[in-house]
Amino acid sequence: MNLEILTPDKKVFEGEVRSVTVPGSMGSFEILNNHAPIISTLDDGKLIVRGSGHEDVYLVKGGVVEVLDNKVVVLAEGIAQREGK
């Protein structure tokens, strides 16, 4: 599935991923391929991106996530990247 991570001033990430874990307002949840359409607000916390052989962790400062037709768009108020694995 395709993931885009955006902040008000830049595009942080765009590419194909296996899964994404986001800090939803009602608890953290994972998005996998063919996930049902959803729009959710995000709290401050870890956004974990898993791709082929890598895992990147971003620290999100609030925002919104939308999932539709295997495309995930994260609109974050602010973001910082931690080291990938």
- DSSP annotation of 52 reads T
Kindly report the pTM of this predicted structure. Answer: 0.91
Instruction: Name the residue range of residue 58's domain.
Output: 2-81
Q: What is the dihedral of CA 58, 73, 49, 17, to 10 degrees?
A: -150
Q: Tell me the pLDDT tens digit for each residue of 1-16.
A: 999 999 999 999 999 9
Q: Where are the alpha helices (DSSP H) in 1-85?
A: none
The Cα–Cα gap between 58 and 70 comes to: 21
CATH number at residue 46: 2.60.15.10
Number of domains into which the chain is organized? 1
Tell me what pLDDT residue 82 has. 75
Q: Is pLDDT above 60 for 85?
A: no
The Cα–Cα gap between 59 and 13 comes to: 13
Q: Is pLDDT above 80 for 81?
A: no
Q: Tell me the pLDDT tens digit for each residue of 19-78.
A: 999 999 999 999 999 999 999 999 999 999 999 888 999 999 999 999 999 999 999 999
